Amino acid sequence: MENIIIIPENKKQFSAIKTFLEEMKIRFKTEKQDDTLMTEEEFYVKIDRSIKQAEEGKVVEYTPELEKKLFKSIL
């Protein structure tokens, strides 16, 4: 038998699908989504924003001094 993977977009959809499956006595399992991952669209939005900031000169130069400041606790 094949599996069906359902990916709800929000909590309301998740709740409705879960309730439906329980009422129909359909066996299912849930998994936590890794919230650190972003969608492809979110990724490109962030890249575009960063490119725009660089074009506007809103950059920070990575220097040895900055490296020491950022990583002083582990260096």
- Whether 18 has a pLDDT exceeding 90, the answer reads yes
pTM listed for this prediction: 0.44
pLDDT tens-place string over residues 42-70: 999 999 999 999 999 999 999 999 999 99
DSSP per position, 1-68? --------SSHHHHHHHHHHHHHTT---------TT---HHHHHHHHHHHHHHHHTT------HHHHH
pLDDT of 75 over the 80 cut: no
